Amino acid sequence: MWREDFCAGGAERVRVFGDNDKLSALVMTHIDADLLVLLSDVDGLYTDDPQSENAALISELDSLDDNIRGYARGGNGRGRGGMETKLEAVRIANEDGRPAIIANGRTPGVLDSILAGKPVGTLFFPRKSR
């Protein structure tokens, strides 16, 4: 789901969705979606800056705590969010009992791989199920 600085509301109250990641997570909680897919320019959540030689891709997580959030660094300068907003979207999906995945949108066939259940990106399992 894409949006371009969408604002709605009357003169007294305006609600602004600051990023596509959070907006897509909010939408998925109101429809019968089974999985939130967040595409990025990196392969998923890393333990450090993905360009660092010490960085390791985290393939699966079953909790999203402050330690995990600490792996997220500022945005890449091209968008409004970065990994921090993706983790906020993951939190929204997981709290609603739905899994989420962060994967590289530049990888050919990434959506086919995700839908086939192949190990791609970082998969976040919710603590509770729907």
Q: What percent of the chain has pLDDT over 90?
A: 61
Question: What are the residue ranges of helices labelled H in the chain?
Answer: 20-28, 66-69, 83-95, 110-115
- Residues with Cβ within 8 Å of 109's Cβ and at least 6 positions away in sequence, in order, are none
| More reliable by pLDDT, 75 or 113 | 113
How confident is the model over 52-69, as pLDDT tens digits?
A: 898 999 999 998 888 888
DSSP notation for 55-82: --B--EES---HHHHTT-----SSSS--
Q: How confident is the model at residue 18 (pLDDT cuts 50, 70, 90)?
A: low
* pTM for the predicted model, two decimal places: 0.81
- Of 23-32, 74-83, 90-99, 106-115, least confident by mean pLDDT is 74-83
Bridge partners of residue 16, in order along the sequence: 7
